[in-house]
Amino acid sequence: MIFSFDLLAEALLFGVLLGCFYAAVSIGLSVSFGLLDVPNVAHPAVMVLGSYFTYVLAGYGFDPIVAGVVLMPAFFLLGMLIYRFYYESFERRGTEAGVRGLAFFFGLAFIIEVGLILAFGVDQRSVQAAYIGTSLALGEYRIPYRMLVAFGVALLLTFSLSLYLSKTFIGRAIKAVAQDEPALRLMGANPVRIKQWAFGIATGASALAGAMLIIVGPVEPALDRLYIGRTFCVVVLAGLGSMTGTLGAGLILGVAESIVLMFFGASWAPAVAFGLLLVVLGIRPQGLFGR
């Protein structure tokens, strides 16, 4: 096994870029599961759906990132619809529904996956852009531009969402709902509508995350299965409810995966996210930055 500090440094750099990407991919789940307590295991599937829509739009000449942004309002509405359905079917009926709600989202994830297979087939899809396929040369290091682009968009998405939640009125209402729902109700606000709005935002973020996913590499319908581990690992590691924690947790996962890739080979990398998740659940279930 070849070891050199250059290689380690390049792996770390790649890990940081990757980690930021993972954070952006998980931020929607941070809102829907971290803040709203909705067991949304279909979140990666919705994201892959976003990737495929990006692919379709890119076929018409859209730049993938532009396509992702264009899709956000549509996904926002989709999110609100899903939450409404979930609320009417489960949350309204009490705690026993928690288990059913989980089963519902698993069913939804598979329906989306099969729908994509029936519509697009199992073949991999990717997009073309000027920044895909070339890299930035820094001395001996080569950093693919697609990773830099994903990194940039991810940072932007994470910070905007963070700012939105802490600075705007609705954002703070969402946080309030997460912390103390009865109090909010007493103040006259409708928590269901706030939650619906929040879920919509989370899903809208997934659209952009999906665009980044297909920029970073090719997608296929079953890709969501791998990302269940990554997104939940990030959200749990961050601690439920912490937005900036998501960034930190994402970085930890990204670097961990990159290091494992370098030292133990590509065949162990898929287990990193899930392994880390189990470790966190076992040792410190409240996460690093959680409430």
Partner 1 sequence: MKRSRRNLLKAGAALAATAGIPRAAFAQAGPVKIGMSMPQTGSLGAGGQAALVALRLWVDDVNSRGGLLGRKVEFIVYDDQTNPANVPGIYTKLLDVDRVDLIIAPYGTVPTAPIMPMVKQRGLLLMGNFSFQVNAKVQHDMWFNNSPWNDAASWSDGFMKNGQRVGAKTIAFLAADQEFAQNLANGARELAKQGGMKAVYDQNYPPATTDFSSLIRSIRAARPDMVFVMSYPNDSVAIVRSVNEIGVGPSVKMFGGGMVGLQFTPNMVNLGSLLNGIVNYNSYVPGMKYPIDDFLGRYAKRAADAKVDPLGFYLPPFNYAIGQMLEQAVNGTRSLDHRQLAAYLRTNEMKTVVGPIRYDRTGEWASPRVVQAQFRGVVDKDMEQFRKPGKQVVIYPDEYKTGEVIAPFEKARSAK
Partner 2 sequence: MKYWTGAAVLLIAAFAASLSDVNEYFFYAAFVVLQFIVLATAWNILGGYAGYVNFGTAAFFGLGAYTAVLLFKALSAPLAVQIAGAAAMGGLLGFGAGMLTLRLRGIFFAIATVALIFILETVMINWRYLGGATGLQLLRPDVAAPFDSYTRMLFFVMALEAVAAVSVARYIQTSWIGRGLRAIRDTEEAAEASGVPTLRLKLVACTVSGALMGAAGAPMPMYLSFIEPASSFNLLYSVNTLAGAIIGGTAHWAGPLIGALALASLQQIVTVTISNEVNVLVVGVLLVAFVVGAPDGILGLFKRWIRF
Question: Taking CB within 5 to 8 Å according to partner kind, which of partner 1, partner 2, none is near residue 104?
Answer: partner 2
List 73, 98, 217, 285, residue binding partner 1 (CB under 8 A):
217
Q: For binding to partner 2 (CB under 8 A), which residues are involved? A: 33, 39, 41, 89-90, 98-100, 102-104, 106-108, 110-111, 113-115, 117-118, 225-226, 228-229, 232, 236, 267-268, 270-271, 274-275, 277-278, 281-282, 285
Please report, for residues 33, 42, 68, 75, the alpha-carbon distance to residue 49 in angstroms, rounded to integers and kept in the order given. 19, 10, 11, 10
Q: How far is the CB of 232 from partner 1 (least distance, A)?
A: 20
Q: How far is the CB of 120 from partner 1 (least distance, A)?
A: 10
* Site track 95-134 with partner 1 (rule: CB under 8 A), x = hit: --------------------------xxxx--------xx
Q: Which is nearer to partner 1, 95 or 267 (CB)?
A: 267
Q: How far apart are CA 191 and CA 183, in angstroms?
A: 10
Span near partner 1 by CB under 8 A; candidates 5-13, 47-55, 150-158, 191-199: 5-13
Q: How far apart are CA 74 and CA 212, in angstroms?
A: 17
Q: Coil, strand, or helix at residue 181? A: helix
> Which two tokens mark 133?
């396929």
DSSP 83-134: HHHHHHHTGGG-TTHHHHHHHHHHHHHHHHHHHHHHHH-SS-B----TTSS-
